[in-house]
Amino acid sequence: MDKNEFKNGGYSNQGKNDGHLIEYNGEVHNIKEWAKIFNMKEGLLSKRITQDKSPFNKAILSNEEYLEYRKNFNKHLKIYEIDGEKHTLKEWSEISGINYSTLKRRINKDNVDIKTALLPSKDYRKRER
C-alpha cells in the first residue's frame, strides 16, 4: 500500500482530493468518486472528513443523519433551518457565500433570524429594522 492509500476509511488531507484512495466496504475510490457514488458534493464530503474530522462512515450520511450525528457528537452545535433545510451556521456560510463571521454577527449582535441573516449585503442593509 503506498502513502496515498488508507484502509478502513482513513484519510489524509495532504494533496488533492482525487489522489487519495479510501477503502470502505471492500471498495477503494478517491473522494471525487465516493462523492459521486453517494450522490454528494465533493467539497461537502471533503469538508466532513478534513475539517469536521468525521470518520468516513459518518461523513457519507445524508444531511439529516449527519446533522443528527454531529448534534449528538457536539451537544453545543446549533442547527439552523430554512424551509425544512437544516445546516450549521458554517454550512450556511459555505452555501450562501456569506462570511461566517458576518452571519454570526448578524444573528448574535443584530438579533435576526437565519433567513434574514442570509440576505445579500445590499438587501440586508435595506431591510426594515
DSSP track, 71-92: HHH-TT--EEEETTEEEEHHHH
The model's pTM is 0.52
d(C-alpha 66, C-alpha 97), whole Å: 21
Phi, psi of 61 (to 5 degrees): -65, 155
d(C-alpha 22, C-alpha 38), whole Å: 14
d(C-alpha 67, C-alpha 77), whole Å: 9
Res 77 pLDDT > 50: yes
pLDDT of residue 16: 43
Beta-carbon neighbour count of residue 60 at 10 Å?
22
pLDDT of residue 32: 93
**Beta carbons of 57 and 45 less than 8 angstroms apart:** no
Whole-number average pLDDT of the chain: 82
Beta-carbon neighbour count of residue 45 at 10 Å?
23
